[in-house]
Amino acid sequence: MSNQTKKIYLDYAATTPVDKEVLNAMMPYFSDKFGNASSVHSFGQEAIAAIDQAREKIANLLNCDFSEIIFTGSATEANNMAINGLIQNCTTYRRSSVSGINKLHIISTNIEHESVLEPLKELERAGHEITYLKVNKDGFISVSDLEKSIKNNTVLVSIIYANNEIGTIQSVKEIGKLLEKINTKRKEQGLNRIYFHTDAVQAFQFLECRPDWLKVDLLIFSGHKIYGPKGVGGLYVRKIGPIGFIGPIIKGGGQEFGLRSGTENVAGIVGLAKAVGLVFKNRETRLKKILHLRNQLLDYIIKYNKDIKLNGSLDPSTSLRTSNRLPNNLNIRFPNISNETLLIALDQNGLAVSAGSACSARASKASYVLNALGLTEKQAKESIRITIGKDTTEKEIKKAAEIINKALLNFKNLRI
């Protein structure tokens, strides 16, 4: 495909291409170094050594213990493990200090990823109590509302670090510090610890994610969102107590310290570790470049479309452009234009963007995240998500703006 006809990809929040350095690191483990990490012979030893090296590398970068990193098949699995593994353990070992009360309480938000919301709904149906904190029009929860929601039987707070649709960044460190103080008092009162979980999948390549800095107990990251392979995710689990505070949700051979049974995806794990290393190596440079391109694209679109609305935190009328929003994210509403129609028109003209989360892209209903901001069904269905990547160029940004502006002009002419 020639440069003139090459399509422009601006859906990096959905997935990213595998970095060449990541691919090169993975390749030997598809063929020459193919051993099963559970085998005792030299082929197996070679595989387990690669996993150990990957785990150690990630642990060093996150400033945590080797055994606190658990590899999974995806971030979705990691979120399910964090939530269900904790609740099952609380139920099994009766960790709630409220005698005779088995109903546990969890605090979360109404804009979490589906891999958090669906397990919570199941727990709710099983009789546990879930408090879903509401967000304001910019997509932020109130930390004071969270504090007011805590009860004696609260065992988990689960707050997404940066939202996958609107890019808003929650005050995770502030919440972590608050829970640290609350847990100190609860310990003195004989109450159970409140564990803190954050889905950091979208935040991982741009924001500080060291668990000790954030004061989190459980942190999720994913390979394919950071230029690593699909089919591999990571879960940080803080070491607390001798028996741990989460149990397995996949049982079998007892791999991953007994928390995630199944033959390890050695190539994927090696690739994930390489991708994490590249994130930490190039984070500041990447952030500045992407932020510049994001703001440039927004300016280009606003110049010819004054009536657009930006969903989430950022005022299009300001010269900006710093806010509590991921630097690569734009979620824009184009009044009176269906996002489905617009997405098709853009794709036909060589620009790939999305209507929101890739996990629910084929669903016909409006985004629950945008509804949570106060948008109507119609307004939510007029919104698209544009996310920029590390390899996006200024030329692509200018061309993308031209494609968008031309499509919008065509729609306006059709209505005349």
Q: Which residues are catalytic?
A: 359
β-pairing, 195-199 vs 154-158, is parallel
Cα–Cα distances (Å) from 294 to 298, 322, 327, 353, in that order, read 6, 11, 7, 14
Q: Is the dihedral of CA 138, 141, 142, 143 positive or negative?
A: negative
Helix ranges (H only) for 242-316 are 266-304
Helix ranges (H only) for 150-171 are none
Report which secondary-structure segment, H or E, holds 331: strand 329-333
Smallest Cα–Cα separation from 309: which of 327, 330, 338? 330
Tokens coding 392: 């996006």
Q: How far is the first Cα of the chain from the last one, in angstroms, to the nearest whole number?
A: 37
The partner residues of 190 in beta bridges, in order of sequence, read none
Q: Is 267 helix (H, G, I), strand (E, B) or coil?
A: helix
Cα–Cα distances (Å) from 111 to 83, 118, 194, 305, 373, in that order, read 16, 12, 21, 28, 9
> Which residue bears the tokens 């199944």?
262
Counted residue by residue, the chain has a size of: 416
